[in-house]
Chain A
Amino acid sequence: MEHTTSIDLEKRFEEKIARELKIEPKDWMPEEYRRMLIRQISQHAHSEVIGMLPEKNWLTRAPTLRRKMALLAKIQDEAGHGLYLYSAVETLGVSREQLYRDFLDGKAKYSNIFNYPALTWADIGVIGWLVDGAAIVNQVSLQRTSFGPYARAMVRICKEENFHQRQGYSICLTLARGSAEQRQMLQDAINRWWWPVLMMFGPPDAESKHSQKSMKWKIKRASNDTLRQKFIDQTVPQLEYLGMKAPDPHLKWNPERGHYDYGPIDWEEFWNVIRGKGPCNKERLRTKRVAYEEGQWVRDAAIAYAKEYN
């Protein structure tokens, strides 16, 4: 029998990556590549799932029936996107249950942004517009990620998320054209979300420890700073159209760079929230943990019933 050496396998893997061919679940891959995929895709999935909570906070108080339906559809999509992503990571032979338990135990990370509170209805507009907007910039670039199931999930998610940002901006637009109180509500929400949203792209390239390997293997397709800049450049005109301001005195167009300049980001805050010290970290995880524990008897009952009748 022929023996393919691990050096051959690695060479073939690197060749595929270089030629922009997708890696599929059963293909040989370096252990580290597999680990990085599991980490990144499951973090992404956890983020979708926990991201339902801040918006759910306003679902039962949504001001109109249309807005309530649109918001519910959006939150439902997020559950769906969580599922697509768990499904993608399960192709690597890991169990969703295990990943989910790690998440509930606080061992796995998820996007920091969901550790901030949604305090007013304007927050729902701003979350849709800015948080989903930032996520889309990231996800559009991930449609070209080197792992097949992840890339396919991203294509599907990007297609669906387009409406999310629009429903958010539509809420913002209505508020911007509304009463003084509504405009104030919107400005206040922008002030609170602006910086955390910019942090969603992760630490500056120079400090990002996973980035280089991830870029080399084309899991990540663009650097944190590149994506952040792209987001800012496309968002500022939308902000101006609303007649609102960003809470950043340094934000201005730089004709030489062809980009907007922006002020320093408080990375101290970012690292604190990552370490569990954000305003809602404990509460969000507790909510998910309680739901999971209280759902155990339901999941058990379904298994018991199926055993009896299958």
Chain B
Amino acid sequence: MSRTFDTSSPTTTSTDEAKIHYLFQLADNALIMGQRLCEWTGVAPELEIDLALCNIALDHLGQANAWYEYLVEIYPQATDVDQLAFCRDEHQYYNITLVELPNGDFAQTIAKMALFSIFNYYLHDALRQCSDARIAAIAARSYKEIQYHRRYASNWLLRLGDGTDISHERMQKALDIVWDHAFEAFTPSPADHIMHQQGIAPDLEQIKALWEDEVHQLLHKATLSIPDTGFTGYRAKSDGVHTEHMGYLLAEMQYMQRRYPNLQW
């Protein structure tokens, strides 16, 4: 059987399809976050930071793997984890655009990680208590890791925001760059909507309120200002319309599977 992923994106008319789409959202967020963090390996600002970023990348790749494994079980189109991770076209990935943004400097990476992990923290806190036992189990395991990511990123955001003039300026600039993309997390996709109705996914309005509260406090403490919000219409998680960065990321990540299809590695 060919491992190319040749279906159109799963439509979200039925509950089953919504669940599959929803799992892709979770899996793809983790995968793309992990992939980006891999890029820091060997070139972080200090050796200890190198280790930390590797750890956080490993957590994300592990989470992605767990979600894809579940997808393989319930999604008829799926043959194996790697087909899902590597053999889809760009418009079939449903991560939020925040995670695919380039790492930029360390401040930009921390900005991404902080905004994402605070969202992820509240999301997984809800999911680990949800009615779907399998989702709850994976979320519960991930939650522990995400707690750490949130703390790690928040601590660095404070150090950079309230460190030197240079770091303050860089941190502020980094936040301005990634800020708009964070809001995609709170714009419900059709799958978010259906999963919420099913009592599985949380109400994103509530998550947003928690997120804003925490982020605003954090920025205040870090002596940073809350950026102006610009475009908030990103909807990669709904229909796979990504930023220009995603194509390059995938070209690199999928290179082997594209160049040598249907082989074992």
Contact = CB atoms under 8 A, between A and B. Distances in A.
When A and B assemble into the complex, do they touch directly, with CB atoms less than 8 Å apart?
Answer: yes
B61 A178 contact: no
Scoring A67, A68, A291 by chain B CB atoms within 10 A of each residue's CB, the highest score goes to: A68
B233 interface: no
Nearest to B51: A79
Interface residues of A, number: 50
Interface in A187-224: none
Contacts of A67: 265
A64 B253 CA distance: 10
Contacts, number: 142
B106 interface: yes
B50 interface: yes
B204 interface: no
B64 A65 contact: yes
B46 A52 contact: no
Given A72-B57, A76-B51, A63 B164 contact: no
Contacts of A131: none
A173 to B, nearest CB: 10
A61 B257 CA distance: 9
Nearest to A302: B159
Contact of B265 (A60, A63, A69, A300): A63
A73 B39 CA distance: 14
Contact of B45 (A59, A121, A295, A308): A295
Nearest to A292: B45
A175 B58 CA distance: 25
B50 A79 contact: yes
Contacts of A306: 159
Scoring A62, A66, A86, A306 by chain B CB atoms within 10 A of each residue's CB, the highest score goes to: A62
A241 interface: no
Interface of B: 31, 35, 38-39, 41-51, 54-55, 57-58, 61-62, 64-65, 68, 81-82, 85-86, 105-106, 158-160, 162-164, 166-167, 170, 252-253, 255-257, 260, 263-265
Which 9 A-B residue pairs are closest in the complex by CB-CB distance?
A: A295-B45, A301-B163, A301-B167, A63-B256, A76-B54, A291-B43, A298-B45, A63-B265, A52-B42
Interface of A: 49, 52-53, 56, 59-69, 72-73, 75-76, 79-80, 82-83, 86, 121, 171, 174-175, 177-179, 181-182, 287-288, 290-291, 294-302, 304-306, 308
Given A63-B82, A291-B43, A301-B160, 9 more contacts: A56-B38, A60-B38, A60-B253, A61-B256, A76-B50, A82-B47, A121-B256, A174-B265, A299-B46
